[in-house]
Amino acid sequence: MYIPYGRQCIDEEDIQAVVEVLRSDYLTTGPKVKEFEEKIAEYTGARYGVAVCNGTAALHVACLAAGLKEGDEVITTPITFAASANCALYCGATPVFADIDPVTYNISPEEIEKKITPRTKAIIPVHYTGQPCNMNEIHRIAKGHGLLVIEDGAHALGAVYQGKKVGSLGSDMTCFSFHPVKPITTGEGGMIMTDDEELYKKLLLYRSHGITREEEMLSEQQGAWYYEQQFLGYNYRITDIGCALGLSQLKKLDSFLQRRKEIVARYTEAFEGLNGIRIPEQMDGCESGWHLYMIQVLEKDRKEVFDRLRAAGIGVNVHYIPVYQFPYYRQHGYKDVCCEQAEQFYARAISLPVFPALTEEQQEYVIQKVKEFVS
Ligand SMILES: Cc1ncc(COP(=O)(O)O)c(C=O)c1O
């Protein structure tokens, strides 16, 4: 038995949805893309959605649409996947890491404030594990300093903050990922949500080479074939095959989230009061998407517990190594960066399996092994 920390949940309906597209006229850039964008916008409460080939591309085009460039600074968290910071580097901007809050593990608003300089242009808060960041505070800070906010919601499709879904919390843009371990999947895929029409138009252009066919945007009209490349964009298009899968998955998102909640409730019940570990907390007014379930090993050596869990067939993981610790970052000016809370969290963290198809039997086995190894 091998139990991964996360995996997709695909049924016959998903398979049929993909097969239908394979028999249709469009494999890419067809009707399913628009339909998927509209449905995610409707679900999250955002005005526009722009679907792209992965979550990293979503963050990249969001940074481009925000106008980030060399000399700009972007504040993000070190406890995230590298893409949340790399997207700033792609634009020539500089990621600046603000430490995490030791209770939520999300970026700390107070730490953001400490990192603001005249060069700061944007904040990229990451709703780590699916728990929404303290967006009221982050928006207050951003407003006070004239900063853009691009939420990295890769873990948080369907998560709720003060009654609103992530994607409609009032930031400039919010990015999602549809990688197989994420709340729903398109195979590879991502989407940027925005309420701003100008940003929406830029996102569409950056997704596809900077090319437009929209008549009102063309500088001249040579004929029906005519289109223009107006600036340097990318081919970040998503397929209709992926979007058909995403549409079918979206119908099940609420039940997936419910199942994740049930799994987390069972972990909480089993681990509460257990010496040797710390379990995650959910903040008031938030409904986490529970993309990840992080424990902190307090007494035993984390590596030892991790290795024993792996040896027992449990695909535990560590999310994440503080981004600035990677050799690439160290070699590019981050050698002396240290976020204390992030380092302490990283030294103790282990992600336990949480995904909709995890069976009760599998979870009981995980619980039993964790109890055995941590105390
Ligand atoms: C927080 C975070 N941001 C961005 C990404 C990038 O998404 P993708 O893998 O779809 O490019 C991920 C994916 O692992 C992620 O976890």
Residue range 283-319, pLDDT digits in tens: 999 999 999 999 999 999 999 999 999 999 999 999 9
Give yes or no for residue 55 CB within 6 A of ligand 1: yes
pTM: 0.98
Nearest atom in ligand 1 to 54's CA: 10
Distance of alpha carbon 176 from alpha carbon 182, whole angstroms: 9
pLDDT of 375 higher than 90: no
Burial 194-206 (b: 16+ CB within 10 A, else e): bbeeebbbbbbbb
Please name the residue whose Cα sits nearest to atom 7 of ligand 1: 55
Calpha distance 55→334 (Å, rounded): 24
The closest-lying atom of ligand 1 relative to the alpha carbon of residue 57 is 11
* Domain definitions of the chain by residue range: 3-250, 253-374
Tell me the pLDDT tens digit for each residue of 27-47: 999 999 999 999 999 999 999
User: What separation in Å is there between the alpha carbon of 64 and the centre of ligand 1?
Assistant: 17
Is residue 154 in contact with ligand 1, taking CB distance under 6 Å?
A: yes
Nearest to 175 by CA among 184, 162, 166: 166
In the chain, pLDDT over 90 holds for what percent of residues? 99
CATH number of 3-250: 3.40.640.10
The pLDDT confidence band at residue 265, using thresholds 50, 70 and 90, is very high
The domain 253-374 having CATH identifier 3.90.550.10: the answer here is: no
> Is 56 close to ligand 1, i.e. is its CB under 6 Å away?
yes
Average pLDDT (246-259) is 98
Cβ(192) – ligand 1 distance below 6 Å: no
Q: What pLDDT is stored for residue 1 in this prediction?
A: 78
Residue 80 near ligand 1, beta carbon < 6 Å: yes
Q: What is the pLDDT of residues 92-104, one digit of tens each?
A: 999 999 999 999 9
Report the separation in Å between the CA atom of 374 and the middle of ligand 1, taken as the mean of its atom positions.
30
- CATH topology agreement for domains 3-250 and 253-374: no
Q: Is 54 in the pocket of ligand 1 (CB under 6 A)?
A: yes
Task: With CA atoms as reference, report the closest residue to 61 among 36, 91, 38.
Answer: 91
Q: Establish whether residue 129 lines the binding site of ligand 1, counting it when its CB lies within 6 angstroms of any ligand atom.
A: no
